[in-house]
Amino acid sequence: MSNKFANASGYDIRQAIRAGEITGNTSGMGSGLVQANLVILPEKYAADFLRFCQFNPKPCPLIAMSDEPGNPIISVAGKDVDIRTDIPQYRLFQHGELQQQVSDISSVWRDDLVVFLLGCSFSFEEPLISDGIEVRNISENVNVPMYDTNIACRPAGIFRGNMVVSMRPMLAADAIRAIQICSRFPQVHGAPVHLGDPSLIGISELSAPNYGDAVTIKPNELPVFWACGVTPQAAINNAKPDFSITHSPGCMLVTDIANSKLSIL
C-alpha cells in the first residue's frame, strides 16, 4: 500500500482514502508533502484551543484551521480537502473518553465544529534523512517513542497539561546538525527542546515510552527530544470537552503543501 502511494499527489491519496482504498497509516505516502495532525472541537472551545496553540507553538504548531465554524472544506491544505472524508481513521471522544474509531465523520458533522491542522514530525524527518542523518524509528520501522515530561505548557482556558516529547537518539554531531535543520521548520515542532539526561525533563526510563515504541540507543548517542503533537491530545484529554474528534495515530491528513514550503530559510 505504502509503496503505491509513496510518490502520489496529495489529491490522489485523499481520493483513495475517500474510496476506502487506504484505510490505515499514511506514513511513507506522498513523499515531500506535509502531513497534518487533526483536532476538531465545537466552537465554544475553539478560542481557548487556538490560544493554547498560540501559547505553546512548539508542541502545537498550527498549520491551518477552518475558514469558519461548520465548514469542512480546508482549501489552504489542498485541492478539494474535505476533512470529513479525507483521513483514513478518526477517533471520536465524549468528555475525553474515546467512543469509537471511524473512517468517515460525515454523519457526526455539525455546524459548530472547528478544524485545527497541526504540523507533524514526518515533515522534519524527511530533511534529516536527506541530509544523511539516521532517524532510528524509521530505520527500525517502528513508531517514534514518545514520553510525558514535567515541562508545563502554558494553559489557556480549559486546556492545560505537560508537554509530550518524541525522542530520536543521535551522535552529538548529528544532533547539532539536526538542530540546524529543524530550526528552519518552526511549523513542524522546530528545534529540539532538550537533549541528554532525560531525568532533567521528568523522564525516568527511555526504554518505556508512554506512547509509541522503544528504539535502540547506541552507547555513543544522546537522546534528542522534540516537542510532540501528542501534547494537544493530552491537553484535550485533560480538558474533557463534551465532544471532540482527532485523527487516529499515524492516520494523517496528507496535504498538497510541500514540506520545503514550511522551511523559513
Which run of H or E residues covers position 232?
A: helix 230-239
Closest distance to its own copies from the beta carbon of 227 (Å): 12
* 46 binds its own copies, rule: CB under 8 A: no
Single residue of 3, 19, 107, 173 touching its own copies by CB under 8 A: 173
Rule CB under 8 A: choose which of 14, 58, 91, 194 binds its own copies: 194
**Binding region for its own copies (CB under 8 A) out of 54-62, 132-140, 175-183, 204-212:** 175-183
CB 263 to its own copies: min, Å: 13
**Nearest to 54, CA basis, from 115, 118, 114, 112:** 118
Q: According to CB under 8 A, which one of 67, 80, 197, 213 is a site residue for its own copies? A: 197
The answer to whether residue 193 forms part of the interface with its own copies (CB under 8 A) is yes
Please state the separation of Cα 93 from the chain's center in Å.
Answer: 18
User: How many chain residues interact with its own copies (CB under 8 A)?
Assistant: 18
- Is 200 one of the binding residues for its own copies (CB under 8 A)? yes
CB closer to its own copies out of 22 and 153? 153
Phi, psi (deg, nearest 5) at residue 31: -45, 130
The one segment of 44-52, 121-129, 196-204, 208-216 that binds its own copies by CB under 8 A: 196-204
Q: Which of 108, 179, 206, 214 binds its own copies (CB under 8 A)?
A: 179
Q: Which of 1, 222, 249, 263 binds its own copies (CB under 8 A)?
A: 222
- Report which of 188, 55, 208 is spatially closest to residue 119, judged by C-alpha positions: 188
Can you say whether the dihedral through the CA atoms of 150, 155, 159, 165 is positive or negative? negative
Distance CA 80, CA 163 (A): 33
Q: How many angstroms separate the Cα of 21 from the Cα of each of 1, 26, 213, 255? A: 9, 12, 27, 17
Please name which of 240, 247, 236 lies closest in space to residue 88, comparing C-alpha atoms: 247
Q: Can you tell me which of 196, 216, 242, 261 binds its own copies, judged by CB under 8 A?
A: 196
Q: Quick one: cell of 227?
A: 516537542
Q: Which residues bind its own copies (CB under 8 A)?
A: 172-173, 175-176, 179-180, 183, 191-197, 200, 220, 222, 265
